[in-house]
């Protein structure tokens, strides 16, 4: 199956700092990637759809100025959590469809904000 | 309102005790229904895609089926390594993805 990677796998930062998470499609090109957040024992919550070469589409209630998304190439999307606070601590997962209906997920990034 | 509901929330099985997980959905139009396995601290791992009622797919001890209202993930003679959370997701004709909250499966040796 298609491979999606994320970096870093975990990050700990101080409150007020910004954190960048990378999502890469390793063996296919993805014009669209998706960013999810998952709290403990809860399902995935779609945050935004990342579109190569254009602005991301954010779900209702997700602050676009706080969660900056850049889809700079057909294999890379980045999510930057700006001025992170403890309530932003979560598991962030990206996914990409290699061309069909299926989505393939990255391994996730655990963000802890102190 | 489009939604996906999974049941039960949690399931404990003895090794070898077969069972089924349910995913009920209501969407305006179905493009595909997906099953994923998620281990703690990891991203979901793709298992199956089903596109139309009556379709079935199998992989080792897992078998997924689909009707017009729900999908079942049958687990035959499960082993402890099958313990995980199983997620169901639906892709609608409106190009939206809806995830269920998952079923946490524990298989006891």
- Span A56-89, pLDDT tens digits: 999 999 999 999 999 989 999 999 999 999 999 9
Range with the lowest mean pLDDT among A84-88, B40-44, B55-59, B102-106? B40-44
Q: Does the beta-carbon distance from A101 to B100 stay under 8 Å?
A: no
- SS3 sequence of chain B: CCEEEEECCEEEEECCCCEEEEEEEECCCEEEEEEEEECCCCCCEEEEEECCCCCEEEECCEEEEECCCEEEEEECCCCHHHCEEEEEEEEECCCCEEECCCEEEEEEC
More confident of the two residues A31 and B76? B76
By the 8 A CB rule, do A29 and A4 touch? no
pLDDT of the residue at B1: 79
Q: How far is B27 from chain A (nearest CA, A)?
A: 16
Contacts of A31 in chain B (CB under 8 A): none
Q: β-pairing, A67-73 with A76-81?
A: antiparallel
Mean pLDDT of chain B: 94
Q: What's the token pair of residue B68?
A: 């017009």
Q: Mean of the per-residue pLDDT values for chain A?
A: 92
B47 near A CB under 8 A: no
Window 72-91 of B: residues touching A by CB (8 A cutoff) are: 87, 89, 91
Q: What pLDDT shows up at residue A1?
A: 66
- The CA-based angle A41-B50-A60, given to 5 degrees, is 45
Chain A, 18 to 77: residues with Cβ < 8 Å from chain B are: 34, 41-44, 46
- The reply to whether residue A43 touches residue B44, judged by beta carbons under 8 angstroms, is no
* pLDDT for B78 beyond 70: yes
Measured between beta carbons, the chain B residues lying within 8 angstroms of A101 are 31-32, 34, 49, 51, 91
With an 8 Å Cβ cutoff, are A108 and B32 in contact? no
Nearest-angstrom CA–CA distance, A39 and B43: 13
Q: Which residues in chain A have their CB less than 8 angstroms from residue B32's CB?
A: 101-102
């Amino acid at each position: 199956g298609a491979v999606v990677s994320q970096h870093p796998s975990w990050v700990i930062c101080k409150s007020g700092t910004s954190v960048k998470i990378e999502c890469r499609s390793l063996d296919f090109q993805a014009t669209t990637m998706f960013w999810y957040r998952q709290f403990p024992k809860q399902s995935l919550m779609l945050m935004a759809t990342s579109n190569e070469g254009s602005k991301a589409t954010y779900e209702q209630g997700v602050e676009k100025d706080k969660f900056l998304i850049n889809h700079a190439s057909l294999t890379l999307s980045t999510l930057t959590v700006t001025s992170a606070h403890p309530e932003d601590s979560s598991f962030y997962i990206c996914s990409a469809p290699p061309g069909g209906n299926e989505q393939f997920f990255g391994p996730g990034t655990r963000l802890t904000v102190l | 309102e489009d939604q996906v509901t999974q049941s039960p929330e949690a399931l404990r099985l003895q090794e070898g005790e077969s069972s089924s997980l349910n995913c009920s959905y209501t969407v305006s139009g179905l493009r595909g229904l997906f099953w994923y396995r998620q281990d703690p601290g990891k991203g979901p791992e793709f298992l199956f895609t089903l596109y139309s009622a009556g379709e079935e797919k199998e992989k080792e001890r897992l078998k997924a089926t689909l009707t017009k209202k729900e999908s079942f993930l049958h687990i035959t003679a499960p082993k402890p390594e099958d313990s995980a959370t199983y997620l169901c997701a639906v892709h609608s004709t409106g190009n939206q993805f809806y995830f269920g909250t998952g079923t946490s499966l524990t298989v006891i040796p």
